[in-house]
Amino acid sequence: MSKKDTNARELPALHRKMFGMSFYGWILMPAVILLAFITLYPCFWMIVMSLLKVSTRPGMKNEFVGLANYAGLFKDSLFLQGWVIQGKYVGISLVVEFILGFAIALFLNNLKRSANVITTIVLVPMMIAPVAVGFLYLYLFNSSFGWYYWFLRSIGILRQGSILGDMNWAVAAIIIADVWEWTPFMALIFLAGLKKVPLDQLEASKCDGAPPIRRFFDVVLPNMVSVIVIGVLIRFMDIMRYIDTIFVMTTGGPAGATKTVSYYLFDVAFRFFDLGRGAAHGFVLLLVTIIIAQAFVNIMKKKGVQR
Amino acid sequence: MFRERMSRRNFLSTAGKAALSGGLLVAVGGIVSKPKVWAGGSNEATQAAKKAGGADLWRQYAGTKLIFMSENTPPSSAIKARAKEFFDLTGMEIDIRQDVLSTVQEKVGIDLKGGSDAYHLNYAQDKPMGTLFADYWADMSQFMNDPTLPQDPEGYDLDKWGYRWLDVCGKFYESSKIVALPYDNAVAVMFYRLDLFEKYTKEFEKQFGYPLVYTKDTTWKNMLDFMKFFNTGKYGVEYGYGFQGLEGWAGQLDFQRPLYAHGEWQEWDMPDQFLGTRNPGPSRWGDDQSVMTLGKMQQLYKLAHPESLSWDWSGVNNAFQTGKVAMCVNYGEFAASVEDPKQSVAAGGKVGYGMDPKGEPSWIINGKKAVNATNYGIGGIAINGNLSKDMQRAAWIFTVWATSKPLQMSVLKELGGTPTRMSVLTDPEVVKAMKRPTTMPNALTYPPILEAVKAPHVVPGPKIPKWNEYATIQCIEIGRCMQGRQGPEETAKILKKKLDTMHGV
């Protein structure tokens, strides 16, 4: 009996349902239970904790306060300002990373020689630990010896004597660090998408006399939409919780200018140790991230992205 | 290939047995690896445990391994380098883990509040750590007179340490419980370029009508003149002065100095600022003195190095060492690097050390005194209260050793430590080292430190349970004021409202 015949006989058996689940389902079950435990259990506790005033002294009991922690968030000016700062940080970073990432991906896709070497070099920033990137930019923006500081002053863009000590420039600084580190990630995903664009469609449009820009918008882009959705979605969810470089570069300052809502969550939970308030804060952040991500997916679905 | 060797039933049966065995192994391993006093990892520690005699108080817990979570401060590094000495004396291993203060705070906080004992000993920095975690630390007074434990021959009374340092880092909100022994000090003093002051005094006098000298009577108003003079860039540096207003503890301390210097102003009334209080009541923000001083601070920040709001002690030290600023208030421990010619352009006798600037009498409207406001961080060693009694006793042995005079003395001599015992600070050898030439550069800062850490100049608090939140709010609002985003009066009103809301007033 050939190997092909054996597979043909055994595969239906493997798919046969036992208590409503296939063999594959059963062998995956322990992993699913474990995963559910390590994700759902903390999530459940976060929700429970968000309804408590967690004791600040040993021997004292936690007090049930209902939705008071949530109500408190909307009276907290740092929480509300944090959303504005987060909006700027996430929005500008994503747009710039998207544009630059696409441009780099197109460049890499059209390389005839040394494509692998150049791609590897381009990807280096995203392989560096975010804390190390924070320190790198802390030094680059330093007014005593920072190269970026010197460069920006030399070309007349920077009039202030400081980057990280100025409220506007500090926001720009954390965005620049994020863009530098994560644009390669977008480029990598878009490059994978570009490799999947059907050559026959491209050649057909070329034969029809379509100029490069038309080919990009009519052939490349429609074939890339699902990849773009995935890239932007992953990056969006990542940047929403990202505090590493901010922690190193500015600690949320100066004067709270870079205190994003996720950085403020770290403050509330692990510096103030107000765990009930921190849990409510974290849950709201999680909900907002899920809602925005879902809305984004829905919009894309409506526009016919099914691939 | 897999399917040919093993049936589905066999696979599930084998996997089940493997999982069960694994679970049992983990459970048994957990029980075995959690004795009351657990043995150190190395063979040497085990051998030392075997040799330990019952009569040797120091060695009664030989074989134990202690973990000390500390900030990456010079004394912690120095003691880490001497871990072998501790092992030889006690047969115990000490594992010192160091990190930045915010990470220490996070790790220790989770450990303590989670009822866990991953870290047996904690770095008890007075305000950012102690105000939050003091209730979770063991009361050391129970060990202090215990004849079955080693004791320091000098004892632990208040006068054995710097001025009320035991109260500052060891007692929180009540005087009956001692939760930490002072282990390192970081007192703020003025670092200034003595060489430039001497060189340009005539030019300065021509412009401002008095000589360019720094004394304990130099006021914050004089600082404005110094900044105007040096900011011209003609006198060897780019700026006159650098603050350290980075959000967090650095900023809180930095803003506190001019605030307290003018009329001994503090945010809250407390029966004893050195002990603090759990319920401080309404804040003083918004009174005339607070608005006045904030206005003057705006002027000072306007002339200071533009990076001032992004610097902490390391940032401003870097600027001072590289000749960017002529003056900065910084902590005594930085003298070692400032005096090191490999790291600093200011090395070689070019730096003078003095008390922090005094309040300007004409800027005081609350009828109180002008003082040389001096604040600090007094770091202690605390014992995790979640530990078993035996482990707490073992941890006490390390605490006694790490805060003893001989160790502080040798660390100071060899590695630039920051002693807390008065017997070290007044030791003839150390007193001699307070003048140049010296082999202990940190000692150059001790004369102003010893004069400034007493009343009325010293400002220890505010020691309140919500210290971290207070520091964040204060740094943000004062930072905005210093950047000109809001006026002094508006800032004081916002601070009053926010801090009172924080305390439910």
CA nearest to B129 within chain A: A271
- Which residues on chain A are in Cβ contact (under 8 Å) with B472? 78, 252, 267, 271-272
B265 near B366, Cβ under 8 Å? Answer: yes
Q: Which of A70, A74, A85, A39 is nearest to A263 (CA)?
A: A85
Residues A60 and A199 in one domain: no
Contacts for B187 with CB less than 8 Å, ≥ 6 apart: B331, B332, B374, B376, B445, B449, B452, B453
Residue B97, φ and ψ in degrees, nearest 5: -105, 125
Q: Give the model's pLDDT for residue A298.
A: 85
Predicted local confidence at residue B410, as pLDDT: 85
Give which of B436, B371, B348 is closest to B220, Cα–Cα: B371
Q: Tell me, yes or no, if the two domains B43-186+377-432 and B187-375+451-502 fold the same way.
A: yes
Secondary structure string (H, E, C) spanning B385-429: CCCCHHHHHHHHHHHHHHCCHHHHHHHHHHHCCCCCEHHHHCCHH
Query: Does residue A74 form part of some domain?
Result: yes
Amino acid B51: pLDDT: 52
Residue A160: per-residue pLDDT: 73
Report yes or no on A7 lying in a domain.
no
In Å, how far is B493's CA from the nearest CA of chain A?
A: 15
What pLDDT sits at residue B9?
A: 56
Q: Which CATH number is B187-375+451-502 given?
A: 3.40.190.10
Q: Considering A66, A89, A122, which residue would you say is the last residue of a domain?
A: A66
- Do A128 and A235 share a domain, yes or no? yes
**Amino acid letter, B211:** P
Write out chain B residues lying below 8 Å of A26, CB-based: 12
In this structure, how many other beta carbons lie within 10 angstroms of the beta carbon of residue B449? 26
A255 CB within 8 Å of a chain B CB: yes
CA distance B201 to A61: 64
β-bridge mates for residue B382, sequence order: B122, B180
Identify which of A187, A191, A218, A183 has the alpha carbon closest to the alpha carbon of residue A109.
A191
Q: Which helix (H) or strand (E) element contains residue B146?
A: none
Classify residue A255: in a domain, yes or no: yes
Res B21: pLDDT: 52
d(CA B214, CA B197): 8
| Nearest Cβ partner for A144 among B136, B324, B385 | B324
Based on the fold, state whether residues A267 and A163 are members of the same structural domain: yes
A171 and A227 within one domain: yes
d(CA B61, CA A267) in angstroms, rounded, equals 39
| pLDDT value for A17 | 74
Distance of CA A253 to the CA centre of its chain: 22
Interface check for A159 against chain B (CB to CB < 8 A): the answer is no
Backbone angles phi, psi at B197, to 5 degrees: -60, -45
Closest-CA residue to B499 (of B481, B475, B483): B475
> Residue B159 has what pLDDT?
95
Using a CB-CB cut-off of 8 Å, the residues of chain B touching A259 are: 247, 476
Task: Mark yes or no for CB contact B318/A77 under 8 Å.
Answer: no
Q: How near does any CA of chain A get to the CA of B472, in Å? A: 9
Q: The CATH number of the domain where A213 resides is what?
A: 1.10.3720.10
Mutation choice for A interface testing from B101, B102, B131, B307 by most A CBs within 10 A: B307
Residue of B306, B322, B468 lying closest to A271 (CB–CB): B468
> Is A8 inside a domain boundary?
no
The C-alpha atoms of residue B234 and residue B212 are separated, in whole angstroms, by 15
Are A152 and A200 in the same domain?
yes
**Contact status, residue A84 vs residue A234, Cβ threshold 8 Å:** no
How many domains does one find in chain A? 2
pTM of the model: 0.85
Positions in chain B short of pLDDT 50: 1-4, 24-42, 45-46, 49, 52-55
Contacts of B455 (CB under 8 A, 6+ apart): B163
Q: List the domain range (segments joined by +) for residue A54.
A: 23-66
Q: What is the pLDDT of residue B25?
A: 46
CA distances from B434 to B74, B306, B491 (A): 19, 33, 42
Element of type H or E holding B48: helix B43-51
Nearest-angstrom CA–CA distance, A215 and A208: 10
Sign of CA dihedral A166, A168, A173, A178: positive
Which chain B residue's Cα is nearest to A23?
B8
- Quote the pLDDT of residue A5: 55
Q: Does A251 lie in the same domain as A121?
A: yes
Supply the Cα-derived Rg of chain A in whole angstroms: 25
Q: Between B102, B135, B483, which is nearest A255 by CB?
A: B483
Shared domain for A55 and A85, answered yes or no, is: no
Token readout for A225 is 């939409």
Largest distance between two CA atoms of chain A: 81
pLDDT at res. A209: 87
B329 pairs with which residues across the strands?
B190
A75 and A60 co-located in one domain: no
C-alpha distances in Å from residue A155, one per residue of A148, A158, B457: 11, 8, 47
Report the Cα B7 to chain-centroid distance in Å: 65
For residues A49 and A75, state if they share a domain.
no
Res A226: pLDDT: 86
Closest among B504, B120, B386 to A58, alpha carbons compared: B386
Between CA B345 and CA B235 the distance in angstroms is: 15
Residue B96, SS3 per DSSP: strand
Contact: A166, B19; criterion CB under 8 Å: no
Question: Rounded to whole angstroms, how far apart are CA atoms B82 and B448?
Answer: 30
ipTM: 0.83
Residue A61 shares a structural domain with residue A173: no
- Taking the CA of residue A95 and the nearest CA in chain B, the distance in Å comes to 28
Given a cut of 90, whether residue A247 has pLDDT beyond it is yes
pLDDT tens digits along A162-220? 899 999 899 999 999 999 999 999 999 999 999 989 989 989 988 988 888 898 888 99
The full DSSP string for chain A is: --HHHHHHHHHHHHH--BTTB-HHHHHHHHHHHHHHHHHHHHHHHHHHHHTEE--SSTTPPPEE-TTHHHHHHTT-HHHHHHHHHHHHHHHHHHHHHHHHHHHHHHHHHT--SSHHHHHHHHHHHHHS-HHHHHHHHHHHT-TTT-HHHHHHHHTTS--SS-STTSHHHHHHHHHHHHHHHHHHHHHHHHHHHHHTS-HHHHHHHHHTT--HHHHIIIIIHHHHHHHHHHHHHHHHHHHHT--HHHHHHTTT-STTTT--HHHHHHIIIIIS--HHHHHHHHHHHHHHHHHHHHHHHHHHHHTT---
Return d(Cα B323, Cα B337) in angstroms, integer: 14
- The secondary structure of residue B436, as a DSSP letter, is S
**Same domain assignment for residues A107 and A56:** no
- Domain ranges across chain B: 43-186+377-432, 187-375+451-502
Write out the H or E segment, with its range, that includes residue B272: none
Task: Supply B429's token pair.
Answer: 């050898």
From CA B383, how far away is CA B117, in angstroms rounded? 10
Same domain, A57 and A91: no
Whole-number pLDDT of residue B32: 38
pLDDT at A268 over 90: yes
> Cis (ω within 30 of 0) for the bond into B35?
no
> Which residue in this structure is represented by tokens 């070497």?
A117
- Does residue A169 sit within a domain? yes
Are B136 and A58 a contacting pair at CB < 8 A? Answer: yes
Q: Tell me which residue of B375, B327, B309, B349 sits closest to B218, measured CA to CA.
A: B327
- Please give, rounded to a whole number of angstroms, the shortest distance from the CA of B468 to a CA of chain A: 6
- The separation between CA A150 and the C-alpha centre of its own chain, rounded to angstroms, equals 31
> Which chain A residues in 165-184 lie under 8 Å from chain B, judged by CB atoms?
165-167, 170
Token match 């880490």: residue?
Answer: B80
What is the number of alpha carbons within 13 Å of residue B341 lying toward its C-beta?
3
Pick the CATH number of B43-186+377-432 from 3.40.50.1580, 3.40.190.10, 3.40.50.850, 3.20.110.10: 3.40.190.10
Residue A262 lies in a domain: yes
Percent of all residues in chain A with a pLDDT value above 90, rounded to a whole number: 60
